Amino acid sequence: MAERYDVIVIGSGPAGYISAIRAAQLGFKVACVEKWRNPKGELALGGTCLNVGCIPSKALLASSEQYDNARHHLDVHGISVQDVKVDVAKMVARKDSIVTKMTKGIEFLFRKNKITWLKGHGKLAGAADGFYRVEVAGETETQVSEAKNVIIATGSKARHLSGIPVDNELICDNEGALAFASVPKRLGVIGAGVIGLELGSVWRRLGSEVTVLEALPTFLAAADDAVAKECWKIFTKQGLKIELGVKIDKVDPGKQGVKLSFTDAKGVEQLLEVDRLIVSVGRVPNTENLGLETVGLAVNERGFIDVDDQCRTKLPGLFAIGDVVRGPMLAHKGEDEGVMVAELIAGQKPHIDYNCIPWVIYTSPEIAWVGKTEQQLKTEGRAYKTGQFPFAVNGRALGTGESDGFVKVLADASTDEVLGVHVIASSASDLISEAAVAMEFRASAEDIARICHPHPSMSEVMREAALAVDKRALNM
Ligand code: FAD
Ligand code: NAI
């Protein structure tokens, strides 16, 4: 007889493993199916985020930033360093050891919470008597388990383009781009999105000449216009070459590197020769061989599983969360959905305000925002006020030498409710949390302005921007 669980989660990325843990905390008997194999061929938990996404990319970003600082930003402090060298193999090994520590950490959390790891590819295999059947194809055998509730958290993978063969050696998606054995002299990147900018920054700092080719005529279209404009200035000054409005015509991999022909924004045919190429043009949901049809479910026209605001599919007890459903492909969005679904199964009444999910792009400086952009408010016809304050006059930022950027607060013109906050700063990823908390509590700009912020700190700029909404910034 098949083993029965209260909850089976398929996929152990941030959406799946967090959901499994929350369900176990709530007293359910839980199993989680995972098939991921790391480069050593070992099965590993943690999904894209821990293995080839958030965690390894941030480790390399930090290492490359140290190198960049040592080469370019210590002199001003009166510190001279000679002969700064980079050992890419050691840097990548450090990144790999962080990944191992984190993925093994989830194995520990599974043991602690008595979650069974079903190893292999999981798929639905019909339903009967109020139980879904889940088949897990392991290394040697296929095991069938049953559960009243199934949570699909199968995540996403890199989108590839036809005519551009990704081998993760010469032409790479995120997986190969996090494991280069040496610094390519010339690096091409297709797509000036989040991965293109983050990984482009890593390899530029380590010495590559980086050219980013973007199809859209606008830079960072999802960000607030003021942020996108400022970032364009900063990144191009740092040496990132970005071509907007291009059409890739041909990609020709050879022994010496890759030749790309593209049509630029003026319609002129251009040739770019690079030693390596990263393709980062978005991600697609993982739904192949998932057995959805066995329970009468299909994916939508974009390949995602349709769910409501609470991640319910049209079938009772069958949920989908994370990158495999609508909404931003962000680890913390998936985690929150995982918690919400586990609590729903337990009969609680959880809720996610998708407008309060923060975004961060880990460039240097970082970019972060939560809520609406100014252009969105204009489109919605909403009356708003703006307050903006630069880090250039903040004592802490000057002390650390990280004075690029600003905080911009958008508030409702009559109620003063905070509608959006946009930050460019070395620590934007941390600063944005205050804004997310404020928006979750539907705070006004005046609320932020009245709260005591530590001095000297970068967070004072958040308060000054909130004061600036009412045209009463104190330090400018
Ligand atoms: P995933 O993490 O993709 O996990 C899905 C898991 O399901 C995988 O382990 C897969 O093996 C498994 N699986 C799939 N199908 C099956 C099956 N049939 N049977 C068994 N197992 C299966 N987001 C951020 O918020 N911050 C960041 O800084 C950030 N950086 C990123 C950097 C890079 C380079 C990339 C590529 C992504 C980054 N992301 C970041 C996005 C983030 O990684 C994803 O949003 C997140 O991992 C999605 O979580 P998930 O659990 O939905 O799916
Ligand atoms: P993306 O959607 O951020 O950017 C893709 C870019 O490629 C877009 O600007 C798009 O216009 C462009 N593009 C698409 N087709 C193209 C073509 N044929 N030629 C040239 N340009 C083309 O996708 P990306 O960077 O691959 O990242 C995927 C997702 O992973 C992100 O959307 C994000 O959700 C997640 N992620 C999050 C991070 C974070 O939170 N810091 C870091 C990295 C990834």
Cis peptide before 184 (omega within 30 of 0): no
What's the start-to-end Cα distance of the chain, in Å? 72
Give the pLDDT of residue 1. 82
State which amino acid sits at residue 410. L
Task: Give the Cα separation of 164 and 166 in Å (integer).
Answer: 6
Give the pLDDT of residue 69. 95
Q: State whether the beta carbon of 265 lies less than 6 angstroms from ligand 2.
A: no
Both tokens of 65, joined, read: 């930033």
The size of the chain, in residues, is: 476
For this structure, is 455 an active site residue? yes
Q: State whether the beta carbon of 53 lies less than 6 angstroms from ligand 1.
A: yes
Spacing, Cα 350 to ligand 1 middle (Å): 23
Which helix H or strand E contains 144, and what residues bound it?
strand 142-152
CATH number given to 356-468:
3.30.390.30
Task: Give the Cα separation of 418 and 438 in Å (integer).
Answer: 8
Same topology between domain 3-158+284-352 and domain 171-281: yes
Q: Residue 205, CB half-sphere, CA atoms under 13 Å: how many?
A: 25
Q: State whether the beta carbon of 335 lies less than 6 angstroms from ligand 1.
A: no
Task: Give the Cα separation of 282 and 288 in Å (integer).
Answer: 18
Q: Going by CA atoms, what residue is nearest to atom 37 of ligand 1?
A: 53
Q: State whether the beta carbon of 428 lies less than 6 angstroms from ligand 2.
A: no
Give the pLDDT of residue 256. 85
For 3-158+284-352, the fitting CATH number among 3.40.50.2300, 2.60.40.10, 3.50.50.60, 1.10.10.10 is 3.50.50.60
pTM: 0.97
pLDDT by 10s per residue, the chain, length 476: 899 999 999 999 999 999 999 999 999 999 999 999 999 999 999 999 999 999 999 999 999 999 999 999 999 999 999 999 999 999 999 999 999 999 999 999 999 999 999 999 999 999 999 999 999 999 999 999 999 999 999 999 999 999 999 999 999 999 999 999 999 999 999 999 999 999 999 999 999 999 999 999 999 999 999 999 999 999 999 999 999 999 999 999 998 899 999 999 999 999 999 999 999 999 999 999 999 999 999 999 999 999 999 999 999 999 999 999 999 999 999 999 999 999 999 999 999 999 999 999 999 999 999 999 999 999 999 999 999 999 999 999 999 999 999 999 999 999 999 999 999 999 999 999 999 999 999 999 999 999 999 999 999 999 999 999 999 999 99
Q: Going by CA atoms, what residue is nearest to atom 9 of ligand 2?
A: 193
Q: State whether the beta carbon of 49 lies less than 6 angstroms from ligand 1.
A: yes
Please report the DSSP string for 367-390 in residue order: EEEEE--HHHHHHHT--EEEEEEE
> Given ligand 2 and candidates 161, 173, 194, which is best to mutate, with the most ligand atoms within 8 Å of its CB?
194
Domain regions of the chain by residue span: 3-158+284-352, 171-281, 356-468
The bound ligand whose nearest atom lies closest to the alpha carbon of 337 is 1
> Given ligand 1 and candidates 48, 294, 337, which is best to mutate, with the most ligand atoms within 8 Å of its CB?
48
Give the pLDDT of residue 227. 98
CATH number given to 171-281:
3.50.50.60
